[in-house]
Structure 1
């Protein structure tokens, strides 16, 4: 008589699991399908009357990329958990030097973000990729993927919006300008009163004292962030040291009290250390972090000292990668850091949100543990809690939508007809010079796959700063100390200081596998289960070995394969200048030239040493953005991290038998690399133009 009773209980147990973990995800999926969609035919696009660089775009068009208007607008306005500034602050904030809104279309456009008009999904007319987020009951302005991965290319009065294209944005300049505006609010009584009055009218704050307190907090956060990530070389437009900033935010939020105390003792007096840590417990919350920064940041010199001790140099800016085919890759990022199988896409996108101001409430906690109890250590064991604002539900959905995005075709009705004879000749040259690293794919096929071809630094010869930084730097492990992280060739034990790649891997995995603390219990756990199942079983890309000529990881050097750069398919490459991973070559034509001019005056073409960046106007002949004739940012390839060396296939005369390798560059950034010229024959000017015509057609 007992057996049926047991079966009855088991049946009810399965029913309960279904109610909790299967039905809610189905409801969530159905609810998402019924979301209010914004199908504005213009996709919210608008132009400005006066462009800071003199660009002209009287009308905006969208090229065919397999996205409908509602898909573009959803991509622009779907939050991922980025919390840069209180939302009402951003709505009313004025520019530092004049009483004009900081978010005015002209000012936003000057930083090369894309202004938008008001639509149903964007009622406050925020720029592309700027969005309202809510975390723990408070509204914030933050970024979406679209801020850095939506492009506009102009040609003779027509602006072409490119979904998934690399933005021309100057995020470094934007954040400096935002900080200056907030500093003016903090320090100028008349500006502050006008700001407080405007914020109070919007109704999110209950008192002026709360507004003033947040003015102080967020001005300090922005100021310290800019100092921590200060680079000796300005990034300029169309690039950012995203990894450096992601790493630094990770290092900042891993610190525990003991390690912070040890670091502070290296740079401050005993009295200053005591004052900085007064009332701070072992776990350092976001509020504690604000207190510590306020107490330590009495001078910029003190913050700079902490930067040198705690953080890495953010001196390796790279171009924003284009996103079409990203979901079909085996490995992503310029140096192949991110595997795209399994949970890889969620981890990659989580790292991105960490970098763009996700709220991170990481701390050490205790949980019930049967193992700990049986070992005689009590009911609980110490664990790391990874609570954050990161919206893994939306990150997964964004990645899913990107599977449908296709590269833009050269629009002949706007940019002119392509020469089919030259294309045929160029295709032969592409097969000889390019295809071994840049595979040709059917960009319209839903079954396409993209194999990243990795090339070690010594062979490719391009600026090594970004790749080297990802391997060479160590950071304090803090709350992760003594934990293990898989590295493909075995587990890495995290010591007091550990490789930053290992720390980021461990932290992102922790966030991905943590249910959203900002949601109710049932929704939190059902969404978590749904996301994990979808990510693991819905991802058609599986973990696989890297391809190419790179230094393999070993147990002694578990991250050496990251000292390489990726060659990917080049479909849509015409819309993605400037070129090379660090944006150091303005056009594709220049990329087919040597980095140093030959001595022969009859063939004196070479890559420009200094050129302008900032214009969106396309040079349709050389294929790249206009790089002279206006007041823009001077890109100087002689500076650290800016080298335009390497990738010299077809640009040099091959060396003869027994000749030594010919140096192709003497720029500061890569003097440590042995230079080896390509054995491919040097391209003639006609061949360069033919190859360029074929690249336009991809």
Structure 2
């Protein structure tokens, strides 16, 4: 012991004599670097924020250069939000820049093509020299360039009215992510099989003179990444079609975590449980052994999982040659179907909210925002270079994930940029909701709005608090309502709690909940696995930064999380099931009522986007026995156009060839994930927080309430 103290004392003396000046200089340089970073954010100040006019876009839409409303952000702040990386690596940047559509020579990233999938076209600007659509950005990891998603891909919207476009920062995207990824896979496969297309592709990639030196490298990476995209699409294949403006983000995040945590033994055992409708095993032990040959024992990386999927479908070398249905039956033993698409939440007020996510999963206190955003980047292609290693003498990640007694520990190395996530969260605190632009969408009838304000106080305000949009220190308290009470589609909330999977190296580790510690079993709720994995990523040093920069950035990130976050540590508000020791995630079986400022710009409505306009939201769902001449929510409508309906308040939902959203198979037989029932307060069917049911609004009252909602 004396020897240890002597060594420590000697180190302190040495630091005192020689290193403090150097350390002070380094810290000073880091401070200057951060200040320069703040200035750098303002270098891209295009007056149009990169937005461009569109002629003959999707669904025949043409519009002039979009305008912006006053949401508290300058031109440079909008562009910084669009183009700031989170550490997402969808595929190598050079490949993305050069990839053509599957059926033409037009580039996949061409503005007209991206508009088809409802991503917002942009022109080249300082931070976006290649003019990528909003939310697509160049990222760098381990010396290579990738294209990835930013927050803006899912949280920037546009409203069109009579040829004039309005960009909404922080608004819910209209994008069709499933359609885009299907085309991305087709384009990559076409490039592999069409020799002329492949030669053009190779020539264009090499002309960039960036990450590739010869054609063999280009083709090798094209094969590798096409396999990764095919794997992603197969794992997340769903019988529920998303269409525009929706994504099952939870389901896809859950699947990415399961893919990177399951070990070979657990994967083999899971595959043995896949059976046909007659109860016969789909795979024999010998077939499983053959399919898993050469796969790592602990962490199974993307390229290996891609091989597994291809082998399962192949007839070569003794592989089973499964059809799609049987392949999905095997998948369902490993992953969970991502079949609960929801609308992208709007982001204003997120920095001032006590709980976020549709089901209130994420508390915004302390490190809550960092954990939430880390989970989000796991879902949008953070490169997860997780490995199983011999434990070191001290590892914060292993400590926080309770792997300290494991023979192998998971190193949660990744491309996720925690510093940028913290900076983005800080900027969102300044984002304000958009105010109804009367000069574009028409004047608000103040007499009707005043009558509507009284109705809002009676019918809505118990759950949807009215806030001062310009007060950055406001606290927005969410009202969590039990799914059995609010009556809206339950699928997303149920999946969030009930979905389970193999925990890999986290098996038998301990995790804290609000009602006590739990042991993560081999078959565990995915919410537990995700929680531990997120902690592991946050606690793992950034692989792209040198030692001192890592720790200074970590101090900066943690410091802002605690000292720049005024959200108190409180229990949830509302009417919901309490967590118990036997059901520690009960409170997640609820949906959140949040403030409605800017609600006019966030259609379609309800958490799953099942109601096209605010007026329709005030109507009941038609049920068996209801008179045919009543006024009801539409059970089918069209989604995809951005043309605005300022009367009913929402996007037009008929008269064009968009995605048809079907809420029901038949009367009283909803499509799970698509149901448009519930939240029928204005129709006199859903009880208020105090249990009372108010009388249904008449038509005039509905229009009065709509007029008031425009003012929020």
Fold shared, TM-score > 0.5 on shorter chain: yes
Shift of 1:485: 1.7
- The residue correspondences of 1:617-628 to structure 2 (distance < 5 A) are 617-628=643-654
- The residue correspondences of 1:55-70 to structure 2 (distance < 5 A) are 55-70=61-76
* Residue in structure 1 matched with residue 437 of structure 2 by the alignment: 411
Given the alignment of the two structures, is residue 221 of structure 1 paired with residue 253 of structure 2, yes or no? no
| SS of match in other structure, 1:608 | coil
- Any idea what the Cα deviations from partners look like across 1:4-61, whole Å, max 9, x if unmatched? 9998568569948964995565244223123262000000001221122122312310
| SS of match in other structure, 1:566 | strand
- Any idea what the Cα deviations from partners look like across 1:292-343, whole Å, max 9, x if unmatched? 4444452554642431110011100000000000010000000001111111
Residues 228, 303 of structure 2: 8 Å contact kept: no
Note the aligned Cα RMSD (angstroms).
Answer: 2.6
* Residue in structure 2 matched with residue 111 of structure 1 by the alignment: 117
User: Aligned partners of 1:599 and 1:281: how far apart in 2?
Assistant: 59
User: Aligned partners of 1:311 and 1:166: how far apart in 2?
Assistant: 27
* Residue in structure 1 matched with residue 530 of structure 2 by the alignment: 504
Given the alignment of the two structures, is residue 362 of structure 1 paired with residue 395 of structure 2, yes or no? no
* Residue in structure 2 matched with residue 307 of structure 1 by the alignment: 331
Given the alignment of the two structures, is residue 142 of structure 1 paired with residue 148 of structure 2, yes or no? yes
User: Which ranges of structure 1 fall in alignment gaps of 5 or more residues?
Assistant: 372-377, 656-675
Q: 1:563 to 1:654 in 2, by over 3 A?
A: closer
* Residue in structure 1 matched with residue 398 of structure 2 by the alignment: none
Given the alignment of the two structures, is residue 541 of structure 1 paired with residue 567 of structure 2, yes or no? yes
- The residue correspondences of 1:69-88 to structure 2 (distance < 5 A) are 69-88=75-94
* Residue in structure 2 matched with residue 167 of structure 1 by the alignment: 173
* Residue in structure 2 matched with residue 648 of structure 1 by the alignment: 680
* Residue in structure 2 matched with residue 666 of structure 1 by the alignment: none
User: Aligned partners of 1:566 and 1:143: how far apart in 2?
Assistant: 26
Given the alignment of the two structures, is residue 250 of structure 1 paired with residue 274 of structure 2, yes or no? no
* Residue in structure 1 matched with residue 489 of structure 2 by the alignment: 463
Moved more, 499-508 or 293-302: 293-302
Moved more, 555-564 or 46-55: 46-55
Shift of 1:379: 12
- The residue correspondences of 1:29-44 to structure 2 (distance < 5 A) are 29-35=34-40, 37-44=43-50
| SS of match in other structure, 1:118 | coil
User: Aligned partners of 1:43 and 1:388: how far apart in 2?
Assistant: 31
Shift of 1:640: 2.2
Residues 54, 62 of structure 2: 8 Å contact kept: no
Shift of 1:271: 3.6
Moved more, 587-596 or 677-686: 677-686
User: Alignment length, in residue pairs?
Assistant: 672
Q: 1:98 to 1:278 in 2, by over 3 A?
A: same
- Any idea what the Cα deviations from partners look like across 1:462-492, whole Å, max 9, x if unmatched? 0000000011111100121111222211122
Residues 352, 472 of structure 2: 8 Å contact kept: no
| SS of match in other structure, 2:382 | coil
Residues 88, 202 of structure 1: 8 Å contact kept: yes
- Any idea what the Cα deviations from partners look like across 1:117-161, whole Å, max 9, x if unmatched? 111111100000000111111111111000110000011111000
Given the alignment of the two structures, is residue 690 of structure 1 paired with residue 688 of structure 2, yes or no? no
Shift of 1:102: 1.0
* Residue in structure 2 matched with residue 668 of structure 1 by the alignment: none
User: Aligned partners of 1:82 and 1:597: how far apart in 2?
Assistant: 45
Residues 265, 297 of structure 2: 8 Å contact kept: yes
- The residue correspondences of 1:508-519 to structure 2 (distance < 5 A) are 508-519=534-545
* Residue in structure 2 matched with residue 670 of structure 1 by the alignment: none
User: Aligned partners of 1:535 and 1:308: how far apart in 2?
Assistant: 38
User: Aligned partners of 2:376 and 2:292: how far apart in 1?
Assistant: 30
Residues 453, 566 of structure 1: 8 Å contact kept: yes
Shift of 1:255: 1.4
* Residue in structure 2 matched with residue 54 of structure 1 by the alignment: 60
- Any idea what the Cα deviations from partners look like across 1:161-183, whole Å, max 9, x if unmatched? 00000010000111011111111
Q: 1:306 to 1:214 in 2, by over 3 A?
A: farther
Q: 1:412 to 1:297 in 2, by over 3 A?
A: same
| SS of match in other structure, 2:474 | coil
User: Aligned partners of 2:32 and 2:533: how far apart in 1?
Assistant: 30
User: Aligned partners of 1:594 and 1:379: how far apart in 2?
Assistant: 56
Shift of 1:405: 0.1
Given the alignment of the two structures, is residue 277 of structure 1 paired with residue 292 of structure 2, yes or no? yes
Given the alignment of the two structures, is residue 565 of structure 1 paired with residue 571 of structure 2, yes or no? no
Residues 25, 527 of structure 1: 8 Å contact kept: no
Residues 21, 525 of structure 1: 8 Å contact kept: no
Shift of 1:461: 0.2
* Residue in structure 2 matched with residue 341 of structure 1 by the alignment: 365
Q: 1:295 to 1:518 in 2, by over 3 A?
A: farther
User: Aligned partners of 2:383 and 2:657: how far apart in 1?
Assistant: 37
Shift of 1:678: 6.4
User: Aligned partners of 1:107 and 1:688: how far apart in 2?
Assistant: 39
| SS of match in other structure, 1:439 | coil
- The residue correspondences of 1:509-658 to structure 2 (distance < 5 A) are 509-596=535-622, 604-638=630-664, 639-652=671-684
- Any idea what the Cα deviations from partners look like across 1:558-591, whole Å, max 9, x if unmatched? 0011000000000000000000000000000000
Shift of 1:604: 1.5
Shift of 1:654: 9.3
Q: 1:272 to 1:9 in 2, by over 3 A?
A: same
| SS of match in other structure, 1:510 | helix
* Residue in structure 2 matched with residue 176 of structure 1 by the alignment: 182
- Aligned pair partner of 1:129 in 113, 122, 135: 135
* Residue in structure 2 matched with residue 425 of structure 1 by the alignment: 451
Given the alignment of the two structures, is residue 324 of structure 1 paired with residue 356 of structure 2, yes or no? no
Residues 243, 659 of structure 2: 8 Å contact kept: yes
Residues 486, 686 of structure 2: 8 Å contact kept: no
Residues 679, 686 of structure 2: 8 Å contact kept: no
Q: 1:682 to 1:286 in 2, by over 3 A?
A: closer
User: Which ranges of structure 2 fall in alignment gaps of 5 or more residues?
Assistant: 1-5, 275-282, 315-320, 396-403, 665-670
Residues 680, 686 of structure 2: 8 Å contact kept: no
Q: 1:482 to 1:20 in 2, by over 3 A?
A: farther
Shift of 1:615: 0.7
In the superposition, the TM-score normalised over structure 2's length comes to: 0.90
- The residue correspondences of 1:364-379 to structure 2 (distance < 5 A) are 364-369=388-393
User: Aligned partners of 1:156 and 1:328: how far apart in 2?
Assistant: 35
Q: 1:118 to 1:537 in 2, by over 3 A?
A: same
